[in-house]
Structure 1
Amino acid sequence: MQTFHNIIDGKPVAAADGRTLDIVDPATGEVYATAPLSGPADVDAAYTCAQRAFREGWRDTTPADRMAALLKMADAVEEHGPELVEIEARDTGKPKGLTLSEEIGPMADQLRFFAGAARHLQGAATSEYMAGHSSTIRREPLGVIGSITPWNYPMMMAIWKIGPAIAAGNTMVLKPSDTTPASSVRMGELFNEILPPGVLNVVCGDRATGAAMTDHDIPAMVAITGSTRAGKAVAESAARRVTRVHLELGGNAPVVVFDDADLDAAAEGIAAAGFFNAGQDCTAGTRVIAHASVAEALAAKLVEQAADIRFSRDETDGSEDFFIPPLNNPDQLAKVSGLVSRAPAHAQVLCGGSAADGGGYFYPPTVISGLRQTDELVSTEIFGPVITVQTFDDEDEAVALANDTTYGLASSVWTSDHGRTIRLSRALDFGCVWINCHIPLVAEMPHGGFKQSGYGKDLSSYALEDYTRVKHVMSTY
């Protein structure tokens, strides 16, 4: 049985009152470790150390100093990549090959991007905007950041929070999901060999721990990646103290496929975007809206794609097959199973449709056609390996169906008509519009949505700006 710990002021510590959480391997459903169940005293200790580290030196570091630290952190991620993958796979059930190729490299790259961005802050030019007065802009760190990360990408979401916060000169307290703390704790250990004590603290716990994170006087901003429900709770709590919030929340991405699209390429790309990580991705391409003339053919091709996908428990070293992990926990398995079991009579479950045998929380790739806009499966963020297919007759209807959601994170358009891509990229009400692809991300471009998908950006220079404040300095002469 493994034992994880908090990291406060650079040291491993248990929860103050000794309470722990059981950590379950979702591939087997068995407890394999314990982690601290932190309370308000632990959160307060972490925030106090972070505040001291900020005031006593970290905020005064130069961009070059922070760049050097972030580059060392990126090197540490690469050097310990295989170890981190083993830890992540045990915690999440993820396939090791895909996790190594799709997460470790991008995580190191993202840290290196923010290392460079730390030295490229921007603002209005110093000038005389009033006669006899000179004005300049200071861009400063906010202070202490409280960060809360989800269970679908524990390692990568931690990096998305750590990179811009540290680059901007902030200190932070990071709380990973209660079900997946392992990789965050290990990265905390590695990064504390590089950063001064108190700059990066890791506190494990449950929802109550998260509430203590937001209901505290010290943090200048609370940043969360999670569900819309969780984001609203964070925003409500932070509002009582007028604390900034940075919210990357749920999604229900439309995938609009026109009759002139390359259906083979579309099916392959949509299956990858919808089934990768078992659909546990806020940008997952699971809500397909296809032209009526090609919807049946596209659905059949998606079924073919699903047949080639295997579970991560079947992975062997060196295999290049497409594997998906189990769902994270029994509640998520019950949610996905319930949504599919309640599919209306006019829907057709073309493949999958029930939990897999063999232990763990596995759910097979599932394709459901014949759905309508008002159906629960269409209006709900499924967060599982379930692709739904509905139809449209013309471009205006496609846009209306796509935008008819409370979410606004991501979308994609599949067509060979260049003019149409321009029109839809303007018309679709989502923070990202992919054209003839779905789900690629790069460090240089922002990730974040509209409406109930939240506000604030991860990645890119826009994220760095979110972790700073702007001060106007004016003097006479």
Structure 2
Amino acid sequence: MTTLRNVIDGASVDAASGATYDVVNPATGQAYATAPASGAEDVDRAMRAAERAFDGGWADTTPKERQEALLRMAQALEDRAEEFVQAECENTGKPIGITRDEELPPSVDELRFFAGAARVLEGRSAGEYLKDHTSWIRREPIGVVAQVTPWNYPLMMAIWKIAPALAAGNTIVLKPSDTTPASTVLLGELANEFLPPGVLNVVCGDRTTGRALVEHPTPQMVAITGSVRAGMEVAGSAAADLKRVHLELGGKAPVVVFDDADVAAAAEAIAVAGYFNAGQDCTAATRVLAAEGVYDDLVAALAEQARSTRTGMPDDPDVLFGALNNPDQLARVAGMVDRLPDHASIDAGGTRPTIAGGEGGYFFDPTVVSGLRQDDEAIQQEIFGPVITVQRFGDEAEALRFANGVQYGLSSSVWTKDHGRAMRMSRKLDFGVVWINTHIPFVSEMPHGGFKHSGYGKDLSMYGLEDYTRIKHVMSFTGEGVS
């Protein structure tokens, strides 16, 4: 069994109580590691370390110094890619090859992007807006930031959180999901080689640990990627102390396919964007809205894509996705399928596969469900699994009404050859991201974040960096008589 430890004040330490819990490999259902079951004492120790590091100099480092630290971290992550891939895949059940090719390179790139972004923060120009007075703007780090990351992309989401916060000059106490702490602990240990003690602290534990993190008086900001329920709890708790809150929560992305779309190309792209990471992605292309003229052909094409898509063990080079993260998530996905209304049709999948070597794992077949209506549970609630739903629409107005008719507002896509229609839809879709004739690509330079119950605040891009700064107005009297 691997022993994971907290990373606090530059050292790897056990929980103060000595308590641990088992970490399970979702592909096998077997425990492979133990992690600290941290409590309030551990959180307080990490917060005090972060506060000392902030006051002790990290806040006063130059952008160049922060850039150099982040670049060294990026290079070390790239050099040790196989070690991180193995840790991530054992902890999540993800395919090794896809994780190496599709998750590690963007993670390295995001560290490098924010390393550069640290040196180009912008503000309004200084000027005399009042006679004999000169005003200018300072962008400053916020202070200690508490961060909570999810289990669907443990390493990548940790980097999405820490890179802008560090680039802006903040210090961090981060809690990974209790089911996937391994790669985040490894990242914290790597950071110790390049950051002063206490700048980045990693504390493992469950919801109790997370609650202690959010309620602690030290952090000036709480950032979380997680469920709507978790985001609401964090926002409510942070409000009691007027902490800033940065929320990236759930999604229910509409994939709007019009009559003039290339059905075969759309189905292939939607299947990849829907089944990647077992559909455990808040931007996944799993809610398809199909126009009358392509509905039947698209359902058939998606069903064929599902039947040709494989799930399996991490070391199988031919699988697109691996196991669901935990037994509760498997039960959620299976339950949503089991509760489908009579008017729905399961066109592919809907069952648990038998996987050699993964008999105890949390696998679910790639699934397509058609015939659904707007008020059905599978349309309104996030499934977060490899289940693509398809519903029919009549015209552009109905497509827009169906697309926007959910509580989420994170991402969406439009599939059409009509440029004017694409522009109209992109303007009226109530989602933070709109893709046109594609779905799910991200780049470090562009923001990611949602509306409504998908939260607020932006990850990635300069907007993400600005979220981790505070703005100060400085005014100086410049008239005569000042010595």
TM over 0.5, shorter chain: yes
Encode CA deviations 1:295-348: one digit per residue, 9 max, x unaligned: 1110111111112222231744xx3x3421111000000000000011111111
Tell me the equivalent position of 2:30: 30
Matches within 5 A, 1:432-471: 432-471=433-472
For the residue of structure 2 that corresponds to 1:310, the secondary structure is coil
Contact 2:89 2:314 (8 Å CA) reproduced: no
Any idea what SS the aligned residue of 1:313 has? coil
Instruction: Report if aligned partners of 1:6, 1:202 keep a CA contact under 8 Å in 2.
Output: yes
State the shift of 1:77 in Å: 1.1
> How big is each residue's C-alpha offset from its partner over 1:37-71, in whole Å with a ceiling of 9 and x where there is no partner?
10000000000000000001000000000000010
Secondary structure of 2:137's match? Answer: strand
Identify the residue that residue 64 of structure 1 maps to in structure 2. 64
Q: 1:352 and 1:306 mapped to 2: Cα distance? A: 7
Aligned counterparts, 1:68-467, within 5 A: 68-313=68-313, 315-316=315-316, 319=317, 321-357=318-354, 358-467=359-468
RMSD: 0.8
Q: How far apart in 2 are the matches of 1:314 and 1:412? A: 30
Alpha-carbon offset, residue 376 of structure 1: 0.6
Q: Which amino acid aligns with 2:320?
A: F
Secondary structure, counterpart of 1:112 in structure 2: helix
CA contact (8 A) 2:306 2:367 kept: yes
Q: How many residues were matched structurally?
A: 474
Higher deviation after alignment, 358-367 or 465-474? 358-367
Contact 2:275 2:320 in 1 (8 A): no
Contact 2:94 2:314 (8 Å CA) reproduced: no
Consecutive unaligned residues in structure 2, runs of 5 or more: 479-483
The whole-number CA distance in structure 2 between the counterparts of 1:235 and 1:20 is: 28
Distance 2:261 2:383 in 1: 26
Q: Is the 8 A contact 2:447 2:459 kept in 1?
A: yes
Counterpart CA distance in 2 for 1:184 and 1:216 is 21
Between the aligned partners of 1:311 and 1:304, the Cα distance in structure 2 is 15
Q: Distance in 1 between matches of 2:243 and 2:368?
A: 43
Secondary structure in 2 aligned to 1:27? coil
Instruction: Indicate the SS of the match to 1:471.
Output: strand
Cα 1:365–1:20, aligned 2, differ >3 Å: closer, same or farther?
same
**Given the two structures, how large is their TM-score scaled by the length of structure 1?**
0.99
Alpha-carbon contact 1:15-1:36 (below 8 Å) kept? yes
Following the alignment from structure 1 to structure 2, what is the Cα–Cα distance between the partners of residues 15 and 440?
Answer: 39
Q: How far apart in 2 are the matches of 1:73 and 1:256? A: 40
TM-score, normalisation: structure 2:
0.97
Q: CA separation in 2, counterparts of 1:130 and 1:21? A: 61
Q: Is the 8 A contact 2:95 2:315 kept in 1?
A: yes
Q: 1:344-387: CA deviations, max 9, x gaps?
A: 11111011112223330000100000000011111110000000
Q: Percent identity?
A: 64
Letter aligned with residue 134 of structure 2 = S
State the alpha-carbon separation in 1 of the partners of residues 139 and 189 from structure 2.
30
Distance, in Å, in 1 between the alignment partners of 2:384 and 2:265 is 23
For residue 178 of structure 2, what is the amino acid of its counterpart? D
Which amino acid in 1 is paired with 2:215?
D
Q: Which amino acid aligns with 1:6?
A: N
CA distance in 2, matches of 1:374, 1:400: 12
Instruction: Measure the CA separation in 1 of the matches of 2:77 and 2:456.
Output: 28
**Alpha-carbon separation, structure 2, partners of 1:21 and 1:232:** 26
Where in structure 1 do 4 or more consecutive aligned residues deviate above 4 Å? none
Could you say what secondary structure the match of 1:250 adopts? coil
Measured in 1, the distance between the counterparts of 2:111 and 2:430 equals: 29
The equivalent residue for 1:55 is 55
Amino acid at match of 1:289: L
Q: String of CA shifts for 1:202-222, please: whole Å, max 9, x gaps.
A: 000000000000001000100
In 1: Cα distance, 2:416 partner to 2:435 partner: 11
Cα separation, 2, equivalents of 1:269 and 1:342: 28
Rounded to whole Å, the distance in 1 between the matches of 2:325 and 2:249 is 17
Say if 1:315 and 1:323, in contact at 8 Å, map to a contact too. Answer: no
1:216-271 deviations in whole A, cap 9, x for unaligned?
10001000000000000000000000000100000000000000001111001100
Change (3 A) 1:176 1:386: same
CA separation in 1, counterparts of 2:249 and 2:411? 11
**SS of alignment partner, residue 425 of structure 2:** helix
Alignment partner of 1:421: what SS?
helix
Residues in 1 aligned to 2:205 and 2:315: alpha-carbon distance in whole angstroms: 31
What are structure 1's unaligned runs of at least 5 residues?
A: none
Provide the rounded CA distance (Å) in 2 between the counterparts of 1:314 and 1:172.
32
Give the Cα separation in 2 of the matches to 1:322 and 1:453: 30
CA contact (8 A) 1:308 1:322 kept: no
